[in-house]
């Protein structure tokens, strides 16, 4: 059955879900989006995702066409109309239709779209055995250029690094910032474990402040695992005891090699496995019910 897509107040069949070529989101990547996940009929961290969407919109002076509560209601409604329990949910706010110039204020009204789709997950094998990554030569956008804290429709910086990953035959690439410190991956945050301490790059490293990242930090603190948010260089990846990536779709993914250096003993580490287990417990118990 074809899925239904919400576009500016109406639901359309997937095949007919279209946006104008004059939309600034299409022409310039002028907009923001979210990636949300529903587990067994409940939307995980809905408020956090909608808050981040609105923060991004505020940063780029984009006036959402609906209030926050209305946006949440539309997201729930789109899940209901698609009759889903487990899903990937993609709300998109784009600047809307204007002329071909750059001035965003000539667009009269922002567009709001919600797509509900099947989850595209990493294969189960990766959770059991871990995955290889590379460090990309493409540097993460600077905070004062295209700030990674905004989940904008312009993902070319990530895509350039993803091309490097794909060409190297690995699923993900780690990106360094302009100062050579580790920032994040193309679509996931990164954690390393060194001598029992969980370390993750801070906001100022140039990262999207992942909602999964925040949840993982909370899990670690709750269970007495020391956590440090601090800058670290590429070499610390090579000598880490454990590495894992976090993201809404990915959850907690073990990394077992970086640029062909084997991490730890080449298998998902103890802390990684513990955090993944605790994270999955939360996804089973928390969330906003759709029905």
CA distance linking residue 84 with residue 4, whole number of Å: 11
Residue 19 vs 159, nearer CB to ligand PMP: 159
Least distance between ligand PMP and beta carbon 184 (Å)? 5
Q: What is the CA radius of gyration of the chain?
A: 19
Q: Which of 14, 151, 260, 284 is catalytic?
A: 151
Tell me whether strands 197-200 and 227-229 are parallel, antiparallel or unpaired.
parallel
Least distance between ligand PMP and beta carbon 269 (Å)? 20
Residue 98 vs 210, nearer CB to ligand PMP: 210
Residue 107 vs 199, nearer CB to ligand PMP: 199
Give me the residues that bind ligand PMP (CB under 6 A), please: 35, 158, 184, 187-189, 208, 210-213, 246-248
Least distance between ligand PMP and beta carbon 20 (Å)? 25
Q: What is the DSSP string of 49-104?
A: HHHHHHHHHHHTT---SS-HHHHHHHHHHHHHHTT-SSEEEEEEEE--B--SSS-G
Pick from 268, 24, 290: which is nearest to 122 by CA? 268
3-state secondary structure of 211: helix
> What is each CA distance from 120 to 39, 58, 117, in whole angstroms?
14, 30, 9
Least distance between ligand PMP and beta carbon 158 (Å)? 6
Decide if 214 is catalytic. no
Which residues carry out catalysis? 151
């Amino acid at each position: 059955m074809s899925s239904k897509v919400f576009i500016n107040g109406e639901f359309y069949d997937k095949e007919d879900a279209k946006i104008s070529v004059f939309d600034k989101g299409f022409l310039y990547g002028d907009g923001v989006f979210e990636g949300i996940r529903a587990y067994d009929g409940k939307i995980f961290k809905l408020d956090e995702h909608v808050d981040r969407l609105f923060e991004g919109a505020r940063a780029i002076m984009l006036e959402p066409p609906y209030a926050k509560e209305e946006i949440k209601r539309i997201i729930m409604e789109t899940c209901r109309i698609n009759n889903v329990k487990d899903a990937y949910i993609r709300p998109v706010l784009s600047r809307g239709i204007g002329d071909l110039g750059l001035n965003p204020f000539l667009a009269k009204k922002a567009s709001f779209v919600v797509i509900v789709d099947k989850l595209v997950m990493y294969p189960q094998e990766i959770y059991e055995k871990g995955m290889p990554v590379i460090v990309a030569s493409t540097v993460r956008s600077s905070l004062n250029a295209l700030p990674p804290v905004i989940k904008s429709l312009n993902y070319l910086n990530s895509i350039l690094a993803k091309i490097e990953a794909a060409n190297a035959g690995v699923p993900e690439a780690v990106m360094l910032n302009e100062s050579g410190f580790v920032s994040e991956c193309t679509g996931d945050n990164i954690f390393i474990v060194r001598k029992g301490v969980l370390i993750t790059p801070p906001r100022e490293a140039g990262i999207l402040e992942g909602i999964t990242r925040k949840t993982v930090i909370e899990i670690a603190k709750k269970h007495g695992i020391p956590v440090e948010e601090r800058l670290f260089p590429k070499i610390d990846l090579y000598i880490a005891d454990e590495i894992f990536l976090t993201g809404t779709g990915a959850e907690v993914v073990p990394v077992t090699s970086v640029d062909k250096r084997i991490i730890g003993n080449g298998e998902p580490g103890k802390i990684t496995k513990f955090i993944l287990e605790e994270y999955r417990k939360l996804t089973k118990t928390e969330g906003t019910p759709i029905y």
